A and B are shown apart, each in its own frame.
Chain A
């Protein structure tokens, strides 16, 4: 009790904890004696970051091409089929997709490991589970944005000057068409983080999300506090970067 400072009056504890977090001198943890949140975060955040980045690659790699294709071939089978699948992808929660993927590819087909975080193949299932929802969402956003830009005058001009159809779609229209996707990145990051709680629990990934859940279950208040602060800082920085990128991509926003 003395070691953790729980005997002090509440206001002393409050200001001491506040100062400790400002000066990056974190208090010792009750659930991991001898360690501080700094070590836990430094140890496990790279894993979560890797998972998040892989999931983002999956999401963009699947979502963007599908969205562009669906917009370019509007109202054909190439539009309806992927878009209905995307609707399914959005409705299915992560904790249903995750175990089902593990069941099919891990247990029945035996191609991949169901849990663990050792080789590259262990990263495929968690990244896909986390990425599929965003792939579906990005596909819908891309389709919407592309449909809007494909009707713009400058796209007609590009066609009129004789640019080939792939060039019109991929060069002229894409730059305006992916704007909704860029602005989705801020909320997507927040979602990737909360999604990683579930995915890390399903696939036993040694990431920060699991520590957060564990801390919540075992009432380790200083670990909860520093993890939440860390996530909040991360999200605010990411939102700021998204805002800056948006202004760089879209001159219209610069004067508002």
Chain B
């Protein structure tokens, strides 16, 4: 309590600073923010520092569990690059005479000669294992994350654009136009989104810009709630005294919209956008899971989970690891959205 009074004495805090202070006290929301920021940074910056490529296949080293030792095989012991990289299991099955002790020796870093072939420990370490084509799973998750998060941001932006314009026009015009526009939203609400998106994907199938289409298709169905929220805010605000006072003192309409209306609409819009990002990512992954979304060579977390689900009987980590990444990111975004709602909600801060 004491430091609060002190800070009020020094200077008045802006509503945004207030909201930030409130948000930073919410541990779950801060965890969400931190986790999400880390995820975004890792996914987009990983090509700079992560040694393995998501498209580089090593078929002889496919579908290895996390942290499996890789064994380099050279035909003559001379070549710089390993001729093949194999798993301990293949070594034991095909080459070794006394598998256990030889693998233990390789693990210690010794070089072993069997039938003229040279074996030694490789410095490849796949933290999360490899998929069935021998691609590094973590690298694929980073690549999938770039697409999943990208869809999340861009589709949210598309629905933000449509929703804010639609809602603002509806709220500002009022009357019959408002009633008509909102009935359209009501009708669209009654239908399941997924059917809509699938229809849109089918109709625009032939296009080359498949990723762009997913952004647009998802954005085109997720703007409904945004339109309602913005309309409600605009209707509330446009008749309030401070707007009228601004108009009476001769402030021009664009300035009223920018300086008086926009900051008041911004709070709910930010909150809803934060909650929309995970919803959009979920929708995209569902589409990809059904085979209607992102296609090869691109991969999203939905496609990774789909591939994992197909092979879960034999390689369970291919399902579990992407599922954990995806769920944690969704949690983080939802926590952050809930925290922002508490922080920016003017009504709740008064009581």
Residues from chain B with Cβ under 8 Å of A87 in the complex: 334
Q: Count how many chain B residues have C-beta atoms less than 8 Å from C-beta atoms of the other chain.
A: 35
User: Given that A93-B330, A96-B326, A224-B199 are contacting pairs, would A235 and B319 also be in contact in the complex, using a CB cutoff of 8 Å?
Assistant: no
User: Given that A100-B319, A217-B292 are contacting pairs, would A95 and B285 also be in contact in the complex, using a CB cutoff of 8 Å?
Assistant: yes
Residues from chain B with Cβ under 8 Å of A216 in the complex: 198-199, 201-202, 292
* A217 engages B291 (CB within 8 Å): yes
**Shortest distance in angstroms between A222's beta carbon and chain B's nearest beta carbon?**
13
* B191 engages A232 (CB within 8 Å): yes
Q: Which of B181-203 contact A (CB under 8 A)?
A: 190-195, 198-199, 201-202
Cross-interface CB contact of B320 among A100, A197, A198, A228, cutoff 8 Å = A100
Q: Name the CB-closest residue of B to A213.
A: B290
The 4 A-B pairs at the shortest CB distance, nearest first, are namely A194-B194, A99-B309, A190-B192, A194-B192
* A93 engages B286 (CB within 8 Å): yes
Q: Name the CB-closest residue of B to A215.
A: B202
Residues from chain B with Cβ under 8 Å of A98 in the complex: 309
Residues from chain A with Cβ under 8 Å of B290 in the complex: 197-198, 201, 213
**Shortest distance in angstroms between A107's beta carbon and chain B's nearest beta carbon?**
6
Residues from chain A with Cβ under 8 Å of B331 in the complex: 88, 91
From DSSP, what is the main secondary structure of chain B's interface residues? helix
Apart from A100-B319, A224-B199, what 10 extra A-B contacts exist at CB < 8 Å? A91-B278, A93-B286, A95-B305, A96-B326, A98-B309, A103-B316, A103-B320, A114-B313, A190-B190, A219-B205
Task: Report A's interface with B, CB cutoff 8 A.
Answer: 87-88, 90-96, 98-100, 102-103, 107, 114, 186, 190-191, 193-194, 197-198, 201-202, 212-213, 216-217, 219, 224, 228, 231-232, 235-236, 239
Residues from chain B with Cβ under 8 Å of A93 in the complex: 282, 285-286, 326-327, 330
Would you give the 0/1 interface string for B23-49, flagging 1 where the beta carbon is closer than 8 Å to chain A?
A: 000000000000000000000000000
Task: Report B's interface with A, CB cutoff 8 A.
Answer: 190-195, 198-199, 201-202, 205, 278, 282, 285-286, 289-292, 302, 305-306, 308-309, 312-313, 316, 319-320, 323, 326-327, 330-331, 334
**Shortest distance in angstroms between A153's beta carbon and chain B's nearest beta carbon?**
22
User: Given that A93-B282, A96-B326, A99-B312 are contacting pairs, would A193 and B192 also be in contact in the complex, using a CB cutoff of 8 Å?
Assistant: yes
Residues from chain A with Cβ under 8 Å of B319 in the complex: 99-100, 103
From DSSP, what is the main secondary structure of chain A's interface residues? helix
**Shortest distance in angstroms between A217's beta carbon and chain B's nearest beta carbon?**
6
**Highest count of chain A CB atoms <10 Å: which of B190, B285, B306:** B190
User: Given that A93-B286, A103-B319 are contacting pairs, would A235 and B190 also be in contact in the complex, using a CB cutoff of 8 Å?
Assistant: yes
A213-B293 Cα distance, complex, nearest whole Å: 12
A87-B326 Cα distance, complex, nearest whole Å: 16
**Shortest distance in angstroms between B317's beta carbon and chain A's nearest beta carbon?**
11
User: Given that A213-B290, A213-B291 are contacting pairs, would A191 and B192 also be in contact in the complex, using a CB cutoff of 8 Å?
Assistant: yes
Q: Name the CB-closest residue of A to B289.
A: A95
A212-B291 Cα distance, complex, nearest whole Å: 12
* B316 engages A198 (CB within 8 Å): no
A235-B192 Cα distance, complex, nearest whole Å: 9
User: Given that A100-B319, A216-B201 are contacting pairs, would A95 and B191 also be in contact in the complex, using a CB cutoff of 8 Å?
Assistant: no
A228-B191 Cα distance, complex, nearest whole Å: 10
* A213 engages B327 (CB within 8 Å): no
User: Given that A91-B334, A216-B202, A219-B202 are contacting pairs, would A198 and B312 also be in contact in the complex, using a CB cutoff of 8 Å?
Assistant: no
